[in-house]
């Protein structure tokens, strides 16, 4: 009998003692045991900090992103290994796809976020704040990786997705992780961690794994560590109040199971596409992962006149759900993760049945295909009906973490929202409606008690990812019962693992610290012209001071003819009364175009192309007779990887375009983005 391993301190080790038995959810067969007894968590945390943390902090965001991308491709190539074992958790192929490829998708999504960060190990947050009249004293914010470790305590329902969606974020930030999956499905997490470690894509110490109960895993955390927990609200609250968490002010992200809702709009009557979408979506949420999702629909909220229609239509779809071994053709719903979960869901259903009626399903009388119902962890879909949701309120307090949901009526949209609020905070609610005004009213009034809201109609249904699918670029979490936490969320999620510090000083000093040129900082005249230099040769602050140009009325009129922009302020001096202009003013886009004519060095060279403009501002009117010049400064450099062997080695260079007049005052300020060839093409 195999004992599941822990990967700590650079080695695979088995915990002490006999360990906890792990069973196949379909057959009931013993898979092995797991134990974390005897592990030294203080050493494990210190190893993560001194080994993995040091290595990750030396890498730039671009390097970390490429690391995640490489890992994602590697895991995708060997995904078959994970599917084979995932079936033992009770998962169908669709369930496994969500867990495995959905988790790998998180790596890809977070890897792509490198483009939103500088080519540095740390992040420069926002824009500079002017703090003095003459501009010699400014403020800014930098965000550096926390010098701690991320400890992720995950639930049993997503042994792969639960790990990957969390570590993708902390690894991008430059923080190592210790993962403690649920002991009941840790065998699947362990398989993936073995493949990750064997790939050697991550630096040693960046990822450690603790199987088993993990008692004591947060006993040594400090203020620089981050602890995340996914699971029951009750367990989450206990961990959140751990003395070490409180005393050290350790960031703690709680994502708890919640009583999520799906609302049928009053317009979505039988015969409409939206009614059919609603029935399909709710049935999917009851049966996918056997309802063992923290986002699953627990409360089905429908107009009171449509309760019977929904009950009948949903019952018909649920009747077609074949339960059994996912390896058998036609099976659409597998087992719960463990027999323990069967007992817990049964207990919750029995409690709910005291205040509401079961209208579909039976906990005992159901058929299982290809497996022994008594040995596996099987459970039938259960559909309740509660005609008095404001009186019979157990449904807003008790969650059966399985294929269980309740239909309840509402009189109007406000009442539907009040029913949702009785759940005291949800990860997600949905509304299915073709009426955009209804959707707006629902979202604005229900948002405060929901982490996410899906608005579903026939226009988006084909590409909608559905009620139960959190997306890596959107925040996942919810208020109140849902834990009050926030994870994923694209760039926002990465920032949770960085510490923000305000910095103050002269623009030249802040330029050096941030490696981004700050307006007013020292400039070094470029020789030769910056367009003659390769990516590696350019220095932050290098500047081309251009020749000057006097703007004429003829320039303005020629540009108006060429562009078609004959706005009155440029063309009709008799229309300027009551405006800020004293005479006909040059087009802002003419100033921008002329600036390019001044700063561009035309012959072919290392600059490949200009592909965009950021933060363009016209700060002062330019009238005929005024003379302008440009200070063209290297602002920031970002390395870029080659797509393939044939690709040109290049990087992104941002240039600050400062157009000024004869008084030395800025009239236009912008950032242009260029691709610049590297000197070294290897």
Give catalytic residues, as residue numbers: 255, 294
C-alpha–C-alpha distance, residues 261 and 467, integer Å: 9
CB 302 within 8 Å of CB 416: no
Sign of the CA dihedral with 182 first, then 186, 189, and 190 last: positive
Closest to 218 (Cα-Cα) out of 155, 153, 271, 163 = 153
Three-class SS state of 359: strand
Query: Which tokens go with 404?
Result: 């269980």
578: exposed, middle or buried (Cβ count in 10 Å: 0-12, 13-18, 19+): exposed
CB 336 within 8 Å of CB 299: no
CA dihedral 21, 24, 30, 32 (to 10 degrees): -60
| DSSP letters spanning 566-628 | --HHHH-GGG-TTSS-SS----HHHHHHHHHHHH---S--SEEEEEEEEEEEE-S---TT-EE
Contacts of 478 (CB under 8 A, 6+ apart): 255, 258, 425, 426, 427, 428, 449, 450, 451, 452, 484, 485
Query: Which tokens go with 127?
Result: 């824009």
Sheet with 20-23: strands ordered across: 2-4, 30-34, 20-23
Rounded to the nearest angstrom, the gap between the alpha carbon of residue 91 and the centroid of all alpha carbons in its chain is: 24
CB 355 within 8 Å of CB 384: no
C-alpha–C-alpha distance, residues 196 and 174, integer Å: 17
C-alpha–C-alpha distance, residues 583 and 299, integer Å: 65
Three-class SS state of 35: coil
647: exposed, middle or buried (Cβ count in 10 Å: 0-12, 13-18, 19+): exposed
**β-strand pairing of 549-550 with 123-130:** unpaired
CB 620 within 8 Å of CB 562: no
């Amino acid at each position: 009998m195999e004992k599941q391993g822990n990967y700590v301190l650079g080695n695979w080790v088995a915990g002490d003692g006999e360990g906890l038995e792990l069973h196949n959810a379909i057959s009931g067969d013993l898979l092995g045991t797991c134990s974390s007894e005897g592990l030294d968590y203080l050493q494990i945390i210190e190893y993560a900090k001194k080994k993995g943390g040091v290595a990750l902090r030396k890498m730039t965001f671009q390097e970390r992103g490429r690391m995640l991308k490489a890992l994602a491709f590697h895991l995708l190539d060997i995904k078959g290994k994970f599917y084979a074992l995932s079936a033992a958790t009770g998962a169908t192929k669709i369930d496994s796809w969500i867990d495995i490829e959905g988790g790998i998708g998180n790596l890809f999504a977070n890897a792509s976020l490198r483009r939103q960060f500088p080519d540095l190990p740390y992040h420069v947050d926002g824009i500079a704040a002017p703090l003095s009249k003459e501009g010699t004293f400014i403020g800014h914010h930098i965000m550096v990786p926390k010098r701690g470790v991320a400890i992720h305590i995950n639930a049993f329902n997503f042994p792969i997705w639960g790990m990957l969606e969390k570590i993708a974020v902390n690894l991008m930030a430059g923080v190592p992780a210790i993962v403690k999956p649920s002991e009941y499905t840790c065998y699947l997490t362990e398989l993936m961690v073995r493949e990750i470690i064997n790939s050697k894509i991550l630096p040693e110490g960046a990822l450690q794994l603790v199987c088993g109960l993990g008692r004591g895993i947060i006993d040594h955390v400090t203020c620089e560590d981050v602890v995340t927990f996914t699971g029951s609200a009750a367990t989450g609250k206990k961990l959140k109040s751990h003395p070490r968490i409180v005393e050290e002010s350790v960031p703690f992200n709680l994502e708890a199971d919640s009583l999520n809702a799906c609302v049928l709009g009053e317009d979505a009557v039988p015969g409409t596409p939206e009614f059919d979408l609603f029935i399909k979506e709710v049935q999917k949420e009851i049966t996918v992962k056997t309802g063992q999702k923290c986002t699953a629909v627990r409360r089905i909220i429908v107009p009171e006149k449509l309760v019977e229609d929904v009950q009948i239509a949903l019952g018909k779809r649920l009747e077609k759900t074949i339960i059994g071994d996912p390896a058998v053709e036609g099976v659409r719903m597998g087992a719960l993760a463990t027999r323990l979960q069967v007992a817990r869901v049964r207990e919750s259903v029995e409690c709910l049945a005291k205040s509401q009626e079961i209208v579909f399903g039976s906990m005992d009388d159901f058929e299982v295909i290809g497996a022994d119902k008594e040995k596996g962890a099987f459970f039938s879909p259960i559909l309740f009906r509660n005609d008095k949701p404001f009186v019979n309120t157990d449904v807003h307090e008790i969650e059966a973490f399985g294929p269980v949901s309740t239909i309840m009526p509402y009189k109007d949209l406000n009442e539907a929202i009040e029913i949702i609020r009785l759940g005291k905070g949800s990860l997600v609610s949905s509304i299915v409606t073709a009426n955009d005004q209804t959707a707006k009213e629902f979202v604005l009034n229900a948002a405060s008690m929901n982490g996410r809201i899906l608005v579903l109609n026939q226009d988006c249904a084909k590409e909608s990812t559905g009620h139960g699918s959190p997306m890596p670029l959107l925040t996942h979490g919810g208020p109140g019962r849902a834990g009050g936490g926030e994870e994923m969320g694209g760039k926002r999620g990465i920032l949770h693992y960085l510490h923000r510090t305000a910095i103050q000083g002269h623009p030249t000093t802040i330029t050096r610290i941030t490696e981004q040129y700050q307006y007013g900082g020292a400039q070094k005249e470029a020789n030769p012209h910056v367009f003659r230099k390769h990516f590696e040769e350019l220095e932050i602050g290098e500047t081309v001071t251009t020749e000057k140009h006097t703007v004429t009325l003829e320039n303005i009129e020629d540009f108006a003819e060429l562009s078609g922009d004959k706005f009155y302020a440029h063309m009709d001096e008799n229309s300027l009364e009551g405006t800020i202009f004293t005479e006909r003013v040059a087009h802002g886009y003419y100033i921008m175009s002329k600036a390019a004519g001044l700063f561009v060095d035309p012959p072919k060279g290392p600059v490949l192309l200009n592909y965009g403009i950021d933060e363009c501002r016209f700060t002062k009117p330019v009238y005929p007779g005024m003379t302008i010049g440009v200070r063209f400064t290297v602002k920031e450099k970002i390395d870029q990887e080659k797509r393939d062997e044939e690709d040109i080695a290049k990087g992104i260079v941002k240039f600050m375009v400062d157009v000024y007049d004869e008084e030395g005052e800025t009239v236009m300020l912008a950032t242009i983005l260029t691709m610049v060839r590297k000197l070294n093409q290897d």
